[in-house]
Amino acid sequence: MEETLWKFARKNRDLRELRQDIAGIWQDDAARDINSRYLNPHESDAEEVLEALQKQYTYITEAAKFRSLAREEERSAADFTDKMTRSLHATEKEMALVFSSHEETLRLHGKAQDLIPKIDQLIQSANSSCQGALDRDEYNRSYS
């Protein structure tokens, strides 16, 4: 499109230069009539069209850049989504393991709680056995 705009601008310049070259020679009523009715409006219309086409080309170029940026962002978002999905699946697996470990901990804690009275009883039994042995040793020492 850039080349087309350049050609369009060049042809308008060529026509303007040709008109300037013949202006000194072609100065009769017919020339003034043709210039005012056709050539002058054509020249101003051509300038407006060229300006509008250049703006359109600029906007299209900018839009293409933004489209390219949007595609890059889309790819980046898709990559991020994939990473987050994989992380979510890994977290779900870890959570299942954590819940399983928590249940096992609660089960073992309950068993430990059930054993505390028996442990206390064994400690008391051991203490009384030791106390009995100490008492016998003291008795034996006193009467020996």
Structure confidence by residue, pLDDT tens digits, 1-46: 788 888 888 988 888 888 888 887 888 888 888 888 888 888 888 8
CA pair distance 12, 42, nearest whole angstrom: 10
Mean pLDDT of 79-93: 97
At 140, the pLDDT band (50, 70, 90 cuts) reads low
pLDDT tens-digit map of 54-71: 999 999 999 999 999 999
- Asked if pLDDT for residue 138 goes beyond 80, the answer is no
Contacting residues for 133 by C-beta, under 8 A, at least 6 apart: none
Q: How high is the pLDDT of residue 2?
A: 85
In whole angstroms, what separates CA 58 from the centre of its chain? 28
Residue type, 110: G
Residue 103 in tokens: 């249940």
Q: SS3 of 28, please? A: coil
Residue among 47, 22, 48 nearest 35 (CA): 22
Q: pTM of the full predicted structure?
A: 0.51
